[in-house]
Amino acid sequence: MNKSDYGKLAIDGGEPVMKGVLPPMFPGGLEIGEKEKQAVMEVLDNKYLFRYYGPEEHPSKVKMLEEEFAGKIGTPYALAVNSCTSALISSLVALGVGPGDEVIVPGYTFFASCAAILAAKAIPVIAEVDDSLTLDPIDVQKKITPQTKAIIAVHMRGAPCNMEALLEITRSSGIALIEDVAQACGGSYQNRMLGSFGDCNAFSFQFHKIITAGEGGMITTHDELLYDRAQEYHDTAACWRPGGPAKRFQTARYAGELFPGVNYRMSELTGAVLRVQLEKLDTLLAQMRKNKAIIKEGISDIPGIEFRRLNDSEGDTAIALIIFLDNPSLAEKFATTLRAEGVEANSIFNQGVPDWHVYSHWEMIMKKWTATPEGCPYTCHYHEGETPEYSPDMCPQTLELLDRSVHLDIPPQLSSHHCELIVEAFRKVSNAYL
């Protein structure tokens, strides 16, 4: 099309490309239907809402979910919990992370990835992301100290981290690796499922995630000892123990098996919904990948657009399309103009609007606020060496990339026509600004 063929921008009073409203980004949530209802009603009819017992014996939906999820990811062990935050905390505790330890976390992730470290009584060390918007292995290497106990690799916005580089770092340094797969359930790296690389790995089933029960989480691991310790921590009543509830207080089978924990158990209602959602995962991924391919191909020839680099394009869950533009002001203007055309794109540029996915907005971390005045874990006497310091500009590479980025969600419910109109909107806006 010629420049004049696109017409006036909607932001300037022209007709928007998209006349209707696009589906919101609730991939599995919008697919809740009769099967989920039937699964929930079965639990209610049986009055078996707690995974360990009820008025009558019935197979636990949560236990079946764990077995099915472990098979899907390719690990021998999976432990269902009530959130991804619980999964991260339990994983850290299982790995022995605690007072005096440091854990490296990316500067671009939901705040919970960082908060979990503090909940485990360790100190977060914030590292840069690279142009994949996942952990930058070069900066990770720089941030390692004798106090570093673990690295949390977040597969941000549905795309895998550079697992080859991160595994090389952790293996050579003797550091534990935790995968945060909250936004990338079903993704892969070099034909291996995400959540099967780390020592412990955490998944989310919150309503924005690919499959959902509103809330919920999962831990996966290859290590039986870590599995046992995560079980112990997530269930303070120790009902999971061999022999069932009657054996919950038996003597420890080995050193480090038994210790006080918390209650992060998943309910049978949540497990029932998630078993149905897990059956839908592959279909959801296939549709998002199809939609993203249409959109990406349709705008790939536009000069001035740089696509986010993918460490493994085949393993991308395709929940989002992310581009980089020349500068932050252009990214903000581009995203605002796309929204006027009916395409819900976003830029990170607006520094006045806190985004809890960006470290510079983590005021509680930047100022080291704690629940009690003594300031633990930052003041923990077990911590040797210098305590990490934080500032909003401590990861300039991360901020520079995010400031130039434009993000577009790719719901599986988009039709091919929707995708074609999104392409048209991108081309219309690009024609005006690039």
Q: Which residues are catalytic?
A: 209
Q: Are 82 and 264 in contact (CB under 8 A)?
A: yes
| Alpha-carbon gap, residue 98 to 67, rounded angstroms | 29
Kindly give the pairing relationship between strand 345-347 and strand 405-409: antiparallel
Any idea what the Cα angle at residue 41 is, between residues 36 and 46, rounded to 5°?
Answer: 135
Question: 176 has which bridge partners?
Answer: 150
Structural tokens at position 28: 């599995």
Alpha carbon of residue 364 to chain centroid: 21
DSSP string, 352-378: TS--TTBGGG-HHHHTT--SSTT-TTT
Q: Are 113 and 105 in contact (CB under 8 A)?
A: yes
Look-up: residue for tokens 């995962």? 281
Q: Strands (DSSP E) along 46-92, which ranges?
A: 77-81
Q: Are 345 and 338 in contact (CB under 8 A)?
A: yes
Assign 84 to helix, strand or coil: helix
| Alpha-carbon gap, residue 94 to 117, rounded angstroms | 13
Q: Are 61 and 39 in contact (CB under 8 A)?
A: yes
| Alpha-carbon gap, residue 424 to 369, rounded angstroms | 47
Residue type, 28: G
